[in-house]
Structure 1
Amino acid sequence: MAKRKVGDHEAALTSPRGVKTLAEAKAWMAARGITEIECTVPDLAGVARGKIMPASKFFSSPVMNLPLSIFFQTISGEYPDYEGLVDSVVADSDLVLEPDLSTLCTVPWAQDPTAQVIHNAYHRDGRPVELAPRQVLRNVLALYAKRGWKPVVAPEIEFYLVEPNTDPDYPLKPPVGRSGRPEIGRQSYSIQAVNEFDALFEDIYDYSEAQGLEIDTLIHEDGAAQMEINLRHGDPLELADQAYLFKRTIREAALTHKIYATFMAKPIANEPGSAMHIHQSVLSAETGKNIFSDEEGGPTPEFFSFLAGHQKYLPAVMCILAPYVNSYRRLTRDSMAPINVQWGYDNR
């Protein structure tokens, strides 16, 4: 007997991440016994803002409202001076948030079966919210599309594992690993140092797989208990969503092992800083070829123009790339940090 071809609907039910329609979402959640859903939107700091609701309420009214001020709230929970801003900001008008069902996935660390979905933000008249990070990125991708280009990115996410610390007056310290001792020296690329936290990383891998997040490699970075996990290259919006989910995943997995994970730029005074490096390439949408490389594998004029654009405009966006006081504690000489706009082959 010939095998029956699996349809799109059935494929959606087995996929760990993403469906196309509300009907598929309902079937996907029912198949997993999910009764609760976290409806989130990333703010400018990458913090998940939103609401948690029963699945039944979500399907009866999948659109939700949040105040515009969520995109003005600082990392410390404060707000900037609204003087001079548009009336809708001063009035803190409601936004309309619609779920992007392609981001639907489970919350694997939740006690009860729970799903999560990222939302798009709109004004009441249907205009996208210009400040919403996903919309900012969409606007950039549209500029690439107009030129017939398709950007590809791969983020490298650095972070420290530290022992629990509830008093900000005390410095952070490396946690105790499976050997019963904290890491006291620097162990760049050490496999054994990573193995100290094998149980934690197994949970990170399991949680990531459950959410459809694609991990590429794991290494020990230069600092004590400083790690780096790279995600597989792909579409910038998809990878931005994955990085947003992945940082939360690492924090939650660490908490289950009574460890904190921090992505601060300079969390420990005498240790190297952390960052998120982004590998970038640009393909021709028509041919799929890398526009930075010619037929002989050499650099193209577009490649050098790309570098020149970075050198010219990156200083102007430092307020976005390094938005906190702590960010500038990392940007010092002899610290493997980008303190200039020089470029060279294989130049770290």
Structure 2
Amino acid sequence: MAPKDWTENLPDAARAYLEGRRLDEVECIIGDLPGIARGKAVPAGKFARQAYFHLPESIFFQTITGDWPDEAAEDGFVERDMILKPDIETATAAPWTADWTLQVIHDAYDRTGAPIPLAPRNVLKRVVDLYRKQGWEPVVAPEMEFYLVARNLDPAKSIEPMMGRSGRPAAARQAYSMTAVDEFGPVIDDIYDFAEAQGFEIDGITQEGGAGQLEINLRHGDPVKLADEVFFFKRLIREAALRHDCFATFMAKPIADEPGSAMHIHHSIVDIETGHNIFAGPQGGDTDAFFHFIGGLQKHLPSVIALLAPYVNSYRRYVRDFAAPINLEWGRDNRTTGIRIPISGPDSRRVENRLAGMDANPYLAIAASLAAGYLGLMEEIRPSAQFRGDAYDSDEGIPRDLGAALDILEESTAMRALLDDDFVRVYLAIKRSEHAEFLSVISPWEREHLLLNV
């Protein structure tokens, strides 16, 4: 049972948010496979008296459309209960609510106390623990791209940019324009306010190349903590947009003729004993570990593209010469490569994976990317030669549709063992069900061009 004074152990931002106020409600949440917050809201007094609560394990068997593929539940669809325990360090405000509410992320366990392997947060913890057993602390910094679009209540209607303060639709091809950012000023103000109330530090907001497309950069840190922040950020950005009569979307490719939205992931690794970045040597040069990590990404990222690009729409983002790498080349300060080495000093030397989409579950995307790098370190994989020039001219190195990506994941024994074979089995079942449902839908393109012409 949680102690009655549990609020004394809250993070500083949550305590500041509640200062002088009475906490009304606690949202007990957990992220499912798509990254949707599931759980229940309870009165604050009840939360103080409970050490855990239950949800059925079947929340991890559900597709994005709300169906449950029969093969996902290997022992039959019995809907066993999980035990969900709060991680008080994740407690944060829900500043858009009408009363004083906190959100708390919970971890999932079975009745023996073992972590549920299907829970995305547990998948990431499993990968991080592998690094720590080697004496390493992985560090990540995600970048979040998304669109602010006009309200869309009709799935048959194309998505359109939102109206800016000027009364004109958001303009495309205005990357890094401060004038374009000003068009969304009221929404951005609320994003900053919500983030401050929740204790999140934004490293910057910029206009991207798409009409109504923005990017938020987060400070580097612990992978689980940063995945928690992306999970929370998606919700707060949606709430900020709704206050201003628009939608925020994290679809990989919401508008046909505009760039897609990525979640670039920067990685570095710190030696726990010395505190030094293992990607840089004593004289500041590149280490074997640096090259092995890149080699691991090159060899093993194809097997986890299904986690980095989890929907049929995800693969529409991978378009040659359209701000989304389609290769596994690596290069220094080269945004055409799938694996980029940003300009930095030795202490902050890092490797950027540019393949992940913003539609990916942040826990699973970060876990998949770190897993590929970890296998490179363990297998001492040497990368190809650094690519120089426009890497869009190179060979494509990734699967180009969801079906092919799922096949590669299924065949990867090394990655299945690392992420947990049961998790991969369930993930494959759910994604194949989603893929089959998509293929059963006849698109407007097919009706327009095939109805009378074939």
Quote the residue 2:106 is aligned against: 119
8 A Cα contact 2:142 2:226, kept in partner: yes
8 A Cα contact 1:156 1:229, kept in partner: yes
State the distance in 2 between where 1:14 and 1:72 align. 32
State the distance in 2 between where 1:32 and 1:229 align. 31
1:252 equivalent among 239, 259, 264: 239
State the distance in 1 between where 2:40 and 2:191 align. 24
C-alpha deviation, 1:73, in angstroms:
1.3
Quote the residue 1:323 is aligned against: 310
SS in 2 for 1:304: helix
C-alpha deviation, 1:268, in angstroms:
0.5
The reply to whether residue 93 of structure 1 matches residue 80 of structure 2 is yes
8 A Cα contact 1:39 1:50, kept in partner: yes
The reply to whether residue 16 of structure 1 matches residue 13 of structure 2 is yes
C-alpha deviation, 1:317, in angstroms:
0.7
The Cα RMSD (Å) is 1.9
Structure 2 unaligned residues grouped into runs of 5+: 1-5, 336-454
Quote the residue 1:196 is aligned against: 183
* TM-score with structure 2 setting the length: 0.70
The reply to whether residue 138 of structure 1 matches residue 125 of structure 2 is yes
8 A Cα contact 2:9 2:88, kept in partner: no
2:44 equivalent among 33, 39, 55: 55
C-alpha deviation, 1:299, in angstroms:
1.0
Quote the residue 1:23 is aligned against: none
State the distance in 2 between where 1:53 and 1:244 align. 21
2:297 equivalent among 295, 310, 315: 310
Q: Which amino acid aligns with 1:182?
A: P
Quote the residue 2:370 is aligned against: none
Quote the residue 1:64 is aligned against: 53
More helix by share: 2
The reply to whether residue 165 of structure 1 matches residue 162 of structure 2 is no
8 A Cα contact 2:166 2:183, kept in partner: yes
C-alpha deviation, 1:254, in angstroms:
0.5
Quote the residue 1:41 is aligned against: 30
SS in 2 for 1:70: helix
SS in 2 for 1:194: helix
State the distance in 2 between where 1:64 and 1:259 align. 35
2:283 equivalent among 296, 299, 324: 296
8 A Cα contact 1:17 1:103, kept in partner: no
The reply to whether residue 226 of structure 1 matches residue 204 of structure 2 is no
8 A Cα contact 2:18 2:100, kept in partner: no
Q: Which amino acid aligns with 2:307?
A: I
SS in 2 for 1:229: strand
State the distance in 2 between where 1:240 and 1:185 align. 29
8 A Cα contact 1:17 1:102, kept in partner: no
1:4-46: CA deviation from partner (whole Å, max 9, x where unpaired): xxxxx9985681148xxxxxxxx99685311111110011111
Q: 1:29 to 1:122 in 2, by over 3 A?
A: farther
8 A Cα contact 1:82 1:90, kept in partner: no
Q: Which amino acid aligns with 2:65?
A: S
Quote the residue 2:69 is aligned against: 80
8 A Cα contact 2:10 2:88, kept in partner: no
State the distance in 1 between where 2:234 and 2:11 align. 25
Q: 1:116 to 1:222 in 2, by over 3 A?
A: same
State the distance in 2 between where 1:55 and 1:231 align. 30
SS in 1 for 2:138: strand
State the distance in 2 between where 1:158 and 1:245 align. 15
The reply to whether residue 32 of structure 1 matches residue 21 of structure 2 is yes
Q: Which amino acid aligns with 1:15?
A: D
SS in 1 for 2:200: coil
Q: Which amino acid aligns with 1:269?
A: A
State the distance in 2 between where 1:13 and 1:69 align. 30
Q: Which amino acid aligns with 1:191?
A: M
SS in 1 for 2:330: coil
1:125-171: CA deviation from partner (whole Å, max 9, x where unpaired): 21110011111111111111111111111110000000111001111
Structure 1 unaligned residues grouped into runs of 5+: 1-8, 19-26
2:254 equivalent among 267, 290, 293: 267
8 A Cα contact 2:30 2:39, kept in partner: yes
SS in 2 for 1:276: coil
8 A Cα contact 1:188 1:221, kept in partner: yes
2:230 equivalent among 243, 256, 281: 243
Q: How many residues align?
A: 330
Q: 1:327 to 1:116 in 2, by over 3 A?
A: same
State the distance in 2 between where 1:164 and 1:76 align. 20
Q: 1:328 to 1:116 in 2, by over 3 A?
A: same
Q: 1:167 to 1:333 in 2, by over 3 A?
A: same
Q: 1:153 to 1:211 in 2, by over 3 A?
A: same
2:94 equivalent among 107, 116, 119: 107
Aligned sequence identity (%): 56
8 A Cα contact 2:10 2:89, kept in partner: no
* TM-score with structure 1 setting the length: 0.91
State the distance in 1 between where 2:7 and 2:70 align. 51
C-alpha deviation, 1:347, in angstroms:
2.0
8 A Cα contact 2:11 2:91, kept in partner: no
Relative to structure 2, which stretch is displaced further, 55-64 or 194-203? Answer: 55-64
Quote the residue 1:3 is aligned against: none
Relative to structure 2, which stretch is displaced further, 218-227 or 71-80? Answer: 71-80
8 A Cα contact 1:29 1:115, kept in partner: no
